[in-house]
Amino acid sequence: MKHARPKQSPGKFLPISLSEAKARGWNELDVIFVTGDAYVDHPSFGVPLLARLLESKGLRVGIIPQPDWRSKEPFMALGRPRLFFALAAGAMDSMVAHYTPARKLRRDDAYTPGNRHGARPNRAIIVYTSRLKEAYRDVPVVIGGIEASLRRFAHYDFWEDKVRRSALLDAKADLLVYGMGETPLLELVRRLQKGEPFASIRDIRGTAYVAATPPDAEELLELPSFETVASDNAAYGQSFRLLSGEQSPACARVVVQRHAERFLVCNPPAWPLSEQALDAIYALPFVKAPHPKYKEAIPAYEQIRNSITTHRGCFGGCAFCAITHHQGKTIQSRSEESVLRELERLAALPWFRGSVSDLGGPTANMFGLSCGNKEAGGKCRRESCLYPKLCGNLVTADARSSRLLAKARKISGVKNVAVSSGVRYDLLERQPNYLRELVSHHVSGLLKVAPEHLTDRVTSAMRKPGKACFERFRDSFMKESARVGKRQYIIPYFISGHPGCTLSDMVDLALMLKRWGMKVEQVQDFTPTPGTLSTCIYHTGVDPYTGEKMYVAKTDREKGLQKSLLLYHVPEERKSCLQALRECGREDAAEELFGPGRR
């Protein structure tokens, strides 16, 4: 069935200046958002999404994007809000955005017009809060986004190579919202509108605050103090292990952590959004474009402008990934009708040329999946539904996802729909219909997948499927491609320098790729980011669950050699590869990698 294009009404951006606010008849705003990203009115950008949600509830909302933090004046661009400021560093942790895995300063920023570096400060939530308090000392400041979320407890900071205290204490903000933020913010606004004092609101799920004493909670978990975990690696691992069991909203407790004479108090996570609530968010009147004040392209927007998000959350539980910690393990899927309506709106935009760049989420083939045992799922403390083996309660049926792909192709004005957000190939083994749809219609010659590594010892440390699973997927993909008469290839992504990985492991991986005729163009050097298992192991050298000591490559030189081994086919990397082979006693692999006599 062909879907008719809906009529498109002109969009209206949220105000970023007092003149724009007054043009709406607003002399005062209720909530003002501050963000380290440029203002792109698109649901893939967190701050505009939350701002639109509050606007839909009748609030007067504005955004201050990428203010110059060197003085307080840019933070006064919209005046004093009636309720509070809400700020985020942006879609990325500001330290990740600013520095390479070798701690070298980046020269670009995809969330800034012209891809220019320098539009936001290091540790943006701390700096932004300081400026807001300088401008309006008595106005509450709520911090959120991925930087605040994953730094809410004492955490290892790679860039300073030490354990830092909670970002909430460093920022001196009034409240921290962690996770995706919709439910906590709406509840906060509701209670403030009823007249509750800001300082008395301390029990909202998905929030954290600082207190002089621990709360009188029925169930409470106290982590080792900041001072203890900062000086004792074993205590740091214990703290991580304890906290990992508190990720499920149904069984999480209030968690506290002493910082000197004060306590960081973290309420249980917010409940996952229902399908209806998620549909309502994506039906909000996003303009789907950058604010007209920008005259240069914003790379992050160009990448997602033709994409559609179908769901949020991930139950993969990869050791190095922060998605589960931020979006949650529960898959929250939109309805089929909601996704198709957004496709229709996209197809009606004057600049759309018929190609949807992505239809997916954190993991595309998790759309529509859930736990089949509601009672067991509510009490589950597993961090992954796939590792070490697939949970028997996981529903992996692919009817919803394959049907959505088929219907998306029939939208009037849509010529092709790509799935580029990544798939879990261990799930595809149980999703033959989705695999068939994907290979037949949604791969443009190259399918990107992320095995990250293929030696079982390293993939076990990563909590990823190993070599055998990848080989089965590769064979299935090639057979299905041949069946439909297409020449298609797999582009694998790998991580170098991950905890548990040695130079010899990378030699083994390079040899596998050579034998399979695969050439890797990009290798991601592991970056320890706050909150992940891999970062805990990088810092302590120990698996916090087993107590097993693990090898960790810490020098830039060794990590560089690991990366070079996967780029053995690049002439400029030959010298480094040979050096790596000598250092790990694997010179015998030189001839296979480079040809006879090439040692």
pLDDT of residue 379: 78
Residues 524 and 491 in one domain: yes
State the alpha helices, DSSP H only, in 263-390.
275-282, 299-304, 323-327, 336-348, 374-379
Could you read off the pLDDT of 269-305 as tens digits, one per residue? 999 999 999 999 999 999 999 999 999 999 999 999 9
- Would you say residue 73 lies in a domain? yes
What mean pLDDT comes out for the span 355-374? 93
Residue in this structure with the two tokens 């996003």, named with its chain if needed: 286
Residues 413 and 484 in one domain: no
What's the pLDDT band for 8 if we cut at 50, 70, 90? Answer: very low
Strand pairing report for 446-452 and 489-496: parallel
Residues 461 and 556 in one domain: yes
Residues 164 and 250 in one domain: yes
**Is the pLDDT confidence value at 123 over 80?**
yes
- Would you say residue 551 lies in a domain? yes
- Would you say residue 275 lies in a domain? no
Domain count, the chain: 3
**Is the pLDDT confidence value at 1 over 60?**
no
- Would you say residue 282 lies in a domain? no
Q: Which of 554, 572, 567, 561 is nearest to 593 (CA)?
A: 567
- Would you say residue 50 lies in a domain? yes
**Is 321 marked as binding a ligand?**
yes
Domain with residue 587: its CATH number is 3.30.750.200
> For all residues of the chain together, what is the average pLDDT?
94
Backbone angles phi, psi at 214, to 5 degrees: -65, 150
State the alpha helices, DSSP H only, in 465-502.
467-483
Q: How far apart are CA 275 and CA 273, in angstroms?
A: 7
What's the pLDDT band for 444 if we cut at 50, 70, 90? Answer: confident
Contact 346, 6 (CB under 8 A): no
**Percent of the chain at pLDDT above 70?**
97
What mean pLDDT comes out for the span 179-202? 97
Could you read off the pLDDT of 203-212 as tens digits, one per residue? 999 999 999 9
Q: How many CB atoms lie within 10 A of CB 262?
A: 16
pLDDT of residue 598: 58
Q: Which of 161, 152, 146, 170 is nearest to 46 (CA)?
A: 146
**Is 266 marked as binding a ligand?**
no
Q: How many residues are recorded in the chain?
A: 599
Examine the fold and report which residue of 204, 239, 266 is the final residue of a domain before the chain moves on.
266
pLDDT of residue 377: 65
Comparing 7-16, 73-82, 516-525, 543-552, the range with the smallest average pLDDT is: 7-16
**Is the pLDDT confidence value at 9 over 80?**
no
Question: Where is 519: in which H helix or E strand?
Answer: none
Residues 6+ apart with CB under 8 A from 50: 33, 86, 181, 182, 185
Tell me the residue range of the domain where 546 lies. Answer: 445-599
pTM for the full predicted model: 0.94
* Full strand arrangement of the beta sheet holding 446-452: 446-452, 489-496, 523-525
pLDDT of residue 3: 34
What DSSP string runs through 548-592? -B-----SHHHHHHHHHHHTTTSGGGHHHHHHHHHHTT-GGGHHH
- Would you say residue 298 lies in a domain? no
pLDDT of residue 7: 32
Residues 159 and 257 in one domain: yes
More confident residue, 595 or 78: 78
Three-state DSSP at 81 gives coil
pLDDT of residue 2: 37
Q: Is the peptide bond before 388 cis (omega within 30 degrees of 0)?
A: yes
Residues 372 and 514 in one domain: no
**Is the pLDDT confidence value at 595 over 90?**
no
Domain with residue 322: its CATH number is 3.30.750.210
What mean pLDDT comes out for the span 103-119? 95
Examine the fold and report which residue of 428, 459, 492 is the final residue of a domain before the chain moves on.
428
Residues 463 and 521 in one domain: yes
What mean pLDDT comes out for the span 193-202? 97
Residues 255 and 315 in one domain: no
Residues 157 and 186 in one domain: yes
**Is 584 marked as binding a ligand?**
no
Q: Is 222 exposed, middle or buried (0-12, 13-18, 19+ CB in 10 A)?
A: middle
Residues 29 and 147 in one domain: yes
Examine the fold and report which residue of 394, 428, 462 is the final residue of a domain before the chain moves on.
428
Residues 395 and 486 in one domain: no
Residues 382 and 459 in one domain: no
- Would you say residue 179 lies in a domain? yes
- The two tokens of residue 542 are 């120990």
**Is the pLDDT confidence value at 375 over 80?**
no
Domain with residue 261: its CATH number is 3.40.50.280
- Would you say residue 437 lies in a domain? no
Residue in this structure with the two tokens 């040899």, named with its chain if needed: 511
